[in-house]
Amino acid sequence: MIVAKGVGKSFGGERILSGVDLTFHEGEVVGIVGPGGVGKSLLMKILCGLVEPDEGEVTVFGRSWADLSVTERAKLRERFGMLFQNYALFDFMTVGENVAFPLVQRGDMSAQDVQERVVERLTQVELSGVNHLYSRELSGGMKKRVALARATIGEAPIIIYDDPTAGLDPVTSSKIFNLISDLQRPDSLSLITSHDIERMMPVCQRYIMLYQGGVYFRGTAQEAKQSQDPVLRVFFGGDAVDVGRRTMAGAEGIS
Amino acid sequence: MTQMLTVMGARIIEILQLIGGIALFFLRTLRALVPPKYDARETWRAFYKVGVQSYTIVILTAMFTGAIMVIQAGGTIQASRATSFVGWAAGFTVLSEIGPVLIGLMFSGRVGANNTAELGTMVVTEQVDALRTLAIDPMNYLAVPRFIAMIVMLFLLVALGDLFALLGGAITSHVMLDISYSVFVSQVIDAQLLDEYILGLIKGSLFGMSIAIVSCYFGFTVRGGAPGVGRAVNNSVVASAIGILAIDLLVGIIHHAVR
Ligand SMILES: Nc1ncnc2c1ncn2[C@@H]1O[C@H](COP(=O)(O)OP(=O)(O)O)[C@@H](O)[C@H]1O
Ligand SMILES: [Mg+2]
């Protein structure tokens, strides 16, 4: 569904990502993990065509972003649902309007059908009755759930959840991951970035770990835990606190 | 010495890059204008916000300007017993020069700053990215409505401000120079200031255009979270002020040459 070949990106002379090769298939739920500031969000934006890589290319459904015209890109982006790390809820719209927006924008449903879908989806994320509120009136956890509802309402074949639990308490985080699991459809591809491996474990089938500017590991959590590599072991709920953990903690917060 | 030159050189390059960036953004906005596919609801919202945010400060600024002009001119005029010129003196400078410039600066401080903050916040909270994933072009959806609203509104606000400036001038003339309202009004009418009035309106529209471009540019290019938004607002207001004065000078030169 998505193939990335040799993707690299720098900002102001600083190389954030380089030589990233990835392939994602339909029906997968993949966790993209790594310390804060490593470029997880950036990679997600490159995959969905929001950011152009300096090197390499990304193809989605066999079409490379680089080859597409502006209109074609817009069309291809409709195949993505996206939950942004910073919520990205439109602050000039109510919750209901936010969630409805992808459907309204697509324009293939009657207003009444849209409303029904919105109510249904908000109930699913346990937020019924907040349609008329604005995002500034919501708590962080509620905003994430609204964002979740908006990302999934279009039932796009590819859904990207960028740090869906950043800044949330553990209970709310688990709830969010459960919701993601409930909303997963068998034929869609979901990518979830997070550093909360423990709680994403029940949802993800495999993981890509970014570290030091590239793909450091790919495989299942089991494989990561059994690895001899100290960085991997620490990151995947390993045992001892060592240098690896400290460097990662140092990088946290840069996002 | 060489270090100072290097720093200055780097600063100059930075400024040139900025001017280039703003010019490019201006062209992109113009290109987004045709064909007109901007969002009607956003445009309406932009008009409403721009108007509501600015009309009180514009009226206040205008009245003070008119009053100050009369006081400034009043001393000389009274000394030379040429009180019949006060309406002309007040009208002339206010309509073509001080009025539009001060109103433009106030507008930039209020509406422009607010716009940069709003767009900057939308960038750092990834709302702009979200629009793009929903196949919406931020230029059409965000920049164009603000561009149109600011040009039209600053035109209208200068037109409105002129009236209040003259009102301020009339009140001051009455109180300070004992010139009756009807005399003041007839003086202004006699002065045949239509030229100045139109020149002021043209300037107002151009100021609106530059404030829109500059404030949108700084908003869209915000980096580095909430602190970045603060910095951008600051830079946006300074750049807008420079833009206003530069346009004022340019229009003045052209007007002078044409006449
Ligand atoms: N538009 C941008 N301009 C400049 N630097 C950026 C931009 N986007 C991301 N970066 C930088 O790329 C790095 C990776 O950021 P990010 O992808 O948000 O990390 P993560 O999501 O893994 O925490 C950071 O150092 C960030 O400063
Ligand atoms: Mg991130």
Whose atoms come closest to the Cα of A34: which ligand?
A: 1
Beta-sheet strand order (sheet of A63-64): A14-24, A2-11, A55-60, A63-64
pLDDT of A241 strictly over 70: no
A86 C-alpha to ligand 1 centroid (Å): 13
- Spacing, Cα B84 to ligand 1 middle (Å): 67
Q: Which chain B residues are closer than 8 Å to A85 by Cβ?
A: 126
The pLDDT, as a whole number, for residue B77 is 67
Beta pairing partners, A31: A192, A207
- From the CB of residue B181, how many other CB atoms can be counted at a distance below 10 Å? 12
Answer whether residue A245 shows pLDDT above 50.
Answer: no
With a cut of 70, say whether residue A56 has pLDDT above it: yes
User: What ranges make up the beta strands (E) of chain B?
Assistant: none
What is the predicted pLDDT for the residue at A240? Answer: 41
Please give the number of the atom of ligand 1 that sits closest to the Cα of A255: 23
Protein residue with least CA distance to atom 14, ligand 1: A39
Residue B243: predicted pLDDT: 96
Structure tokens at A166: 């950043």
Give phi and psi for A60, each to the nearest 5.
Answer: -125, 125
Confidence of residue A238 (pLDDT cuts 50, 70, 90): low
Provide the pLDDT for residue B78. 66
For B126, which of A86, A101, A105 is closest by C-beta distance? Answer: A86
B192 CA distance to ligand 2 centroid (A)? 63
The ligand minimizing its distance to the Cα of A40 is 1
Task: Say if ligand 1 is within 6 A of residue A3 CB.
Answer: no
Which stretches of chain A sit within 8 Å of chain B by CB? 45, 48, 50, 70, 74-75, 77-78, 80, 82, 84-92, 101-102, 105
pTM for the predicted model, two decimal places: 0.89
**Total CB pairs under 8 A between chain A and B:** 49
- Residue-level pLDDT at B54: 92
Higher pLDDT, A167 or B81: A167
Residues of chain A with C-beta less than 8 angstroms from the C-beta of B137: 70, 74
Q: Is the CB of A42 under 6 A from ligand 1?
A: yes
**Residue with the nearest Cα to atom 8 of ligand 1?**
A42
Tell me whether residues B129 and A92 touch, CB distance under 8 A. Answer: no
Radius of gyration of chain A (CA): 18
The residue assigned the tokens 């780097």 is: B10
Q: At what angle do helices B40-79 and B86-93 cross, to 10 degrees?
A: 140
Task: Tell me if A197 sits within 8 A of A209, measured CB to CB.
Answer: no
Calculate helix-pair angle for B181-190, B144-172, nearest 10 degrees.
130
pLDDT digits (tens, 9 = 90+) for A138-161: 998 899 999 999 999 999 999 999
The beta strands (E) that lie in A49-139 are given as 55-60, 63-64, 80-83
Q: Tokens representing A161?
A: 């959840």
Residue A247 has pLDDT above 50, yes or no: no
pLDDT band at A246 (very low <50, low <70, confident <90, very high): very low
B184 or A178, which is more confident? A178
Overall average pLDDT of the A64-88 stretch: 93
For residue A105, the chain B residues in CB contact (below 8 A) are 134-136
Q: Of the candidates A78, A91, A92, which has its C-beta nearest B135's C-beta?
A: A78
CB distance A195 to ligand 1 below 6 Å: no
pLDDT of residue A205: 93
Query: How many C-beta atoms lie closer than 10 Å to residue B205's C-beta?
Result: 18
CA A60, A65, A66: angle at the middle one, nearest 5?
Answer: 145
Chain B residue numbers touching A102 (CB-CB < 8 A):
134
Residue of B nearest to A49 (CA): B133
Tell me, using a 6 A CB cutoff, whether residue A251 lines ligand 1: no
pLDDT of residue A255: 41
pLDDT truncated to tens, each residue of chain B (259 aa)? 788 889 999 999 999 999 999 999 999 999 999 887 778 888 999 999 999 989 999 999 999 988 888 888 776 666 666 666 666 666 777 788 888 999 999 999 999 999 999 999 999 999 999 999 998 899 999 999 999 999 999 999 999 998 898 899 889 888 888 888 888 888 878 877 788 889 999 999 999 999 999 999 999 999 988 999 999 999 999 999 999 999 999 999 998 898 7
pLDDT computed for residue A254 by the predictor: 42
Q: What residues of chain B lie within 8 A of the CB of A90, using their CB? A: 127, 130-131
Is A255 close to ligand 1, i.e. is its CB under 6 Å away? yes
Per-residue tokens: A155: 């039932």
Contact residues, chain B to chain A, C-beta under 8 Å: 45, 121-122, 124-127, 129-137
> Coil, strand, or helix at residue A18?
strand
- Protein residue with its CA nearest to atom 5 in ligand 1: A11
CB B66 within 8 A of CB B172: yes
CA-A42 nearest atom, ligand 1: 17
The distance from CA A60 to its chain's CA centroid, rounded to whole angstroms, is: 16
SS3 B258: helix
Nearest CA in chain B to A88: B127
Distance of CA B232 to the CA centre of its chain: 18
Query: Any idea how long chain B is?
Result: 259
